[in-house]
Amino acid sequence: MKYGARNKIVGKVKSVKKGDIMSLVKFEVTVPAQMASVLTTESLEELDLKVGDQVELIIKAINVLPVKE
């Protein structure tokens, strides 16, 4: 998957709050101490994110894009 963002941080999924349209995923990272991402529930299901998964957090503008490779 290609993306234009250049900044990335490795994090672990801390919690998942799934909604009908949008979902909130919180991540544990070393610096800063914690980050969160709001994404569509369709994207959440496509990534199959679960608590404890390790992902790269791609930071672009105000968005945090979780990438599971």
For residue 59, the Cα-to-chain-centroid distance in whole angstroms is 10
For residue 44, the Cα-to-chain-centroid distance in whole angstroms is 9
pLDDT tens digit sequence for 20-56 = 999 999 988 876 667 788 889 999 999 999 999 998 8
Domain made up of 7-67: CATH architecture: Beta Barrel (2.40)
Q: Is the pTM of this model over 0.75?
A: no
- Mean pLDDT across the stretch 12-26? 93
Map out the domains of the chain as residue ranges: 7-67
